[in-house]
Structure 1
Amino acid sequence: MLITVLLVIASLSCLLTWLLRRYALASSLMDIPNARSSHSIPTPRGGGVAIVVCFVLAVLGLALLGKVDSVVVFVLGGAGGLVAVIGFLDDHGHIAARWRLLGHFSAAGWALFWLGGLPAVSLFGTLVDLGWFGHLLAAIYLVWVLNLYNFMDGIDGIASVEAICICIGGALLYVWLGDAHGSLMIVLSLAAAVLGFLIWNFPPARIFMGDAGSGFLGITLGVLSLQAAWASPQLLWAWLILLGVFVVDATFTLFRRLLRGDRVYEAHRSHAYQFASRHYGRHLPVTLVVGAINLFWLLPIALVVGFGILDGTIGLLVAYLPLVWLAAKFNAGALELK
């Protein structure tokens, strides 16, 4: 039964992506290559709407069947839906950065209202309640994850592969530790929706995700990580480890550009994965390596932390240090050659 449901979600996502591609071609909704692009031919964009629609419908259906907590619909549907609408409008035109940011913080505030904010955090085996400061950190965290996912969606398939790998990790944690609030079905439904889109987005991509899809994935994964933390404190660290590839590359790049005095809100292609794709001359090797890092390095560490075998703080450091080295090796945030 579970496999059938997931196949239906993936199939609908694949079909809707095909329809969105036809719509983008007919409406000239194209991503035109420029000096800041990592692709060389005009490509339709906006296909991530398929992920949004299929996942939200799946969660709504699960709630109506009593398989997931109805609060999940308000959290993911409200926050994710707002971010997706902002991204959709930005894909079709342009929204000033300040208004996008306001919308993003509004979505984060909505999610935190329903979640109850940030739960007590486990630091070296001790639970620490950060109070209102923790809720502020949680809002900044959600907005950062949302935006870094947009920043990291720059080559074919990378954002889709990242999301699927994270969902696989989350699913394994929930199988072992218990399915809190239907979380297992939620992450598997998200993975299925992304998989249907990936069929069209795998290198060489025939359609791009667009801001609607990448922003939605970012805030959805961020919300799921905080929801997991409410179920069990060590799960927050496990989810942060699963998000490691995107978190490290985006954060390393941001800080390096800030230190150099760059206008960080301007488009660029100085992330480690972008330098790597230009070095190898193709997107596919980089996307596959990202998947391998997720499955064979980050996932085992996340499971060990999630099962309580290793302290989350130590596990995060162990997981992130090689990623920091890779970011430095591939010149993340370095000045681009003209």
Structure 2
Amino acid sequence: MTPFILVTLAAAFVTMLVLVPVVRAFAIRIGLVDNPDAERKLHDRPIALAGGLAVFLATGIAFVVGIAYESGWGEFSKMTELSSRWFVLLGASTAILVVGLIDDKWALRGRQKLLAQCVIAMIVVASGTVMRSISLFGFEIPLGIFALPVSVLWLLLAINALNLLDGADGMATTVGAFVCGGLALLSASSGHSASTVIAATALCGALLGFLVFNRPPASIFLGDAGSMMIGLIVGVLAMWCSLKESAVVVAAPVAILVLPLFDSTAAIIRRWMTGRSMYATDRGHLHHLLNEKFGPNGMLLVVAGLCSFSSAIAILSVRFNQDWLVLVGAVVVLGFLVLTRTFGHSECRLLLGRLYHFAHSFVVRPQDCESSKHLRSVQIQGEGCWEPVWEPLVEFAKRHDFAKVQIDANMAWLHEGYHATWQSVRLPEKSVQSVVRIPLYATRPGEEEAVPIGKVEVIANSSQESLAHLSYFLEHAEELQTQVRYLVANLDKKTAAARLNAASKLSKPESEEPAVGTEEVETAPTS
């Protein structure tokens, strides 16, 4: 390995070991912490959120050290020869770090963060970091007037892909370290400038050093400041290190980023298909499901293995000029996750179900469009028994000739999600639809006030008879709420019993019998 890479890596790692305790103490002192809640943030104490600041500083210091070593200690001519794009990247990284710190401290709205990300990405693209054409599997595709929006979209995708992954101890840090390491090797093997290799190596070393404090159980988090900043730098470096003549070779960087990109794509599909807001929070991300299946440390090992494999395939594809290797690598990684039902299986079912119904609608005769129904139900997460809630809704809709009934529920604190739809092939025109949406509520353990967990939507034709049926449905909506409350209460008890058993297994010697929860689970009454 080239000496300046080792020097840069070591400088970043050691700097992080020194910086993190200082930054962590400062963050706790000013109240820049992530407080636990009963829904998504399940850590048991406030955790410092300023990890991104430490990563930013360590990366910058290691970058200067690497450039100085590569140019000969004491001769900083290489620093003055750096093109203006590096200073633009420095300014953009600083700006997105500040936006993230503000969000970590005072919680910005989703659209406010997105607006700031768009402005920063457009500044980077306007400075010359543009995908003017794309090279894929030997074909060069000129983007023309779409060059600027595609480049901005890529940066936004990279920023939010890393941001969405930052929901479990060490997850975004591990993925970021392997991605940056892969980009550094890719840039070195492609013969790009030493500065690009040094930048990717510096960020990789900083993240490896941060992992010492961020591994489970974490004592400091990256925060939105760190995850968004890493995503921006990774997105920019991916464009720079994959530039070949006038085209960006997209196969290799996409392969290296396959895990965060897949997680973002799955989140978009999940929220779009279920009718949830794109800013909605849930516990259906890659890190949530890996943590649930393999545990905190197992999650990081699986992620490290998958990232290593995808990065190795990407580098081999560039080394031997065989883009098809990237496709094989991506299929292996995604196939492992989906076919083992580790992640992405529910999203694939939602998408394939929608595509099947769309294709089927072309072969239905016009006179059968209203009578022909589509039914699909997907247990997105968890093992809740939703049939006693869902089946009476479908029977009621059939009996009164409704056009559609849909239920969507998301209980992040229980790792539970369910979505089901029954509808006509052709819905009534919106101008003649009668639509009723009922929010579903449940109470979290230890709280008195119920919180919304989803909704039920019913669509019927606008007629006196349909209005009477909808009115009857509304009058009996409390029975539906009762069914949901029983279901959630049962799930709460199962979760509490599982946690009790897990805790007792950890606290008792191996020779003793593990404690078993004795509380029986209630059975939901049928309506």
TM-score of the two chains, using structure 2 as the length reference: 0.59
Q: Does 1:43 align with 2:70?
A: no
Partner SS for 1:77:
helix
Which residue of 2 is the match for residue 198 of structure 1? 211
Q: Does 1:217 align with 2:230?
A: yes
Relative distance call for 1:174 and 1:148 in structure 2 (3 A) is closer
Q: What is the identity percentage for the equivalent residue pairs of Structure 1 and Structure 2? A: 27
Indicate if the aligned counterparts of 1:85 and 1:212 stay in contact, CA closer than 8 A.
yes
> Shift of residue 216 of structure 1?
0.4
> How many residues get paired?
334
Partner SS for 2:135:
strand
Q: 1:40 and 1:239 mapped to 2: Cα distance?
A: 37
> Shift of residue 51 of structure 1?
0.7
Which residue of 1 is the match for residue 275 of structure 2? 261
Q: 2:129 and 2:89 mapped to 1: Cα distance?
A: 14
Q: Pick the structure with greater CA Rg.
A: 2
> Shift of residue 249 of structure 1?
1.8
List gaps (5 residues or longer) in structure 2. 69-75, 348-379, 381-409, 417-487, 489-527
Which residue of 1 is the match for residue 313 of structure 2? 301
Name the stretch that deviates more: 65-74 or 77-86: 65-74
Q: Does 1:55 align with 2:66?
A: no
Q: 1:252 and 1:315 mapped to 2: Cα distance?
A: 23
Match 1:277 to one of 291, 300, 310: 291
TM-score of the two chains, using structure 1 as the length reference: 0.90
Which residue of 2 is the match for residue 173 of structure 1? 186
Q: 2:281 and 2:64 mapped to 1: Cα distance?
A: 36
Match 1:16 to one of 15, 19, 27: 19
Indicate if the aligned counterparts of 1:171 and 1:187 stay in contact, CA closer than 8 A.
yes
Which residue of 1 is the match for residue 440 of structure 2? none
Which residue of 2 is the match for residue 146 of structure 1? 159
Q: 1:308 and 1:108 mapped to 2: Cα distance?
A: 33
> Shift of residue 107 of structure 1?
1.2
**More helix per residue: 1 or 2?**
1
Name the stretch that deviates more: 95-104 or 153-162: 95-104
> Shift of residue 124 of structure 1?
2.7
Partner SS for 1:330:
coil
Which residue of 1 is the match for residue 30 of structure 2? 27
Q: Structure 1, residues 127-184: CA drift from partner, whole Å, max 9, x if none?
A: 1211121321111111121012111011111111112111222222233221326211
Q: 1:136 and 1:149 mapped to 2: Cα distance?
A: 20
- The RMSD of aligned alpha carbons is 2.3
> Shift of residue 218 of structure 1?
0.4
Q: 1:12 and 1:156 mapped to 2: Cα distance?
A: 21
Q: Structure 1, residues 233-259: CA drift from partner, whole Å, max 9, x if none?
A: 564321111111111122112212211
Amino acid across the alignment from 1:278: E
Amino acid across the alignment from 2:55: I
Which residue of 1 is the match for residue 364 of structure 2? none
Q: 2:338 and 2:287 mapped to 1: Cα distance?
A: 8
Q: 1:176 and 1:200 mapped to 2: Cα distance?
A: 32
Q: 1:275 and 1:94 mapped to 2: Cα distance?
A: 25
Indicate if the aligned counterparts of 2:49 and 2:223 stay in contact, CA closer than 8 A.
yes
Q: 2:16 and 2:255 mapped to 1: Cα distance?
A: 28
Partner SS for 1:48:
helix
Q: Structure 1, residues 64-112: CA drift from partner, whole Å, max 9, x if none?
A: 5416733242232122121111001111112222221111011111211
**More strand per residue: 1 or 2?**
2
> Shift of residue 192 of structure 1?
1.6
Relative distance call for 1:318 and 1:65 in structure 2 (3 A) is same
Which residue of 1 is the match for residue 358 of structure 2? none
Partner SS for 1:122:
strand
Partner SS for 1:269:
coil
Which residue of 1 is the match for residue 175 of structure 2? 162
Q: 1:161 and 1:285 mapped to 2: Cα distance?
A: 12
Q: Structure 1, residues 275-310: CA drift from partner, whole Å, max 9, x if none?
A: 221233x31110111011111x20221012222431
Partner SS for 2:140:
strand
Relative distance call for 1:176 and 1:164 in structure 2 (3 A) is same
Q: 1:123 and 1:4 mapped to 2: Cα distance?
A: 34
Q: 2:167 and 2:20 mapped to 1: Cα distance?
A: 18
Q: 2:310 and 2:286 mapped to 1: Cα distance?
A: 18
> Shift of residue 273 of structure 1?
2.3
Indicate if the aligned counterparts of 1:86 and 1:100 stay in contact, CA closer than 8 A.
yes
Indicate if the aligned counterparts of 2:55 and 2:210 stay in contact, CA closer than 8 A.
yes
Q: Does 1:250 align with 2:264?
A: yes
Match 2:200 to one of 155, 179, 187: 187
Amino acid across the alignment from 2:46: P
Which residue of 2 is the match for residue 77 of structure 1? 90
Indicate if the aligned counterparts of 2:8 and 2:201 stay in contact, CA closer than 8 A.
no
Q: Does 1:317 align with 2:327?
A: yes
> Shift of residue 11 of structure 1?
1.8
Which residue of 2 is the match for residue 287 of structure 1? 300
Name the stretch that deviates more: 27-36 or 104-113: 27-36
Which residue of 2 is the match for residue 126 of structure 1? 139
Q: Does 1:6 align with 2:9?
A: yes
List gaps (5 residues or longer) in structure 1. none
Name the stretch that deviates more: 82-91 or 300-309: 300-309
Q: 1:331 and 1:6 mapped to 2: Cα distance?
A: 32
Q: 1:315 and 1:39 mapped to 2: Cα distance?
A: 40
Q: 2:310 and 2:271 mapped to 1: Cα distance?
A: 26
Partner SS for 2:107:
coil
> Shift of residue 223 of structure 1?
0.5
Q: 2:137 and 2:326 mapped to 1: Cα distance?
A: 12
Amino acid across the alignment from 2:9: L
Name the stretch that deviates more: 223-232 or 326-335: 326-335
Relative distance call for 1:198 and 1:6 in structure 2 (3 A) is same
Indicate if the aligned counterparts of 2:8 and 2:198 stay in contact, CA closer than 8 A.
no
Indicate if the aligned counterparts of 1:150 and 1:211 stay in contact, CA closer than 8 A.
yes
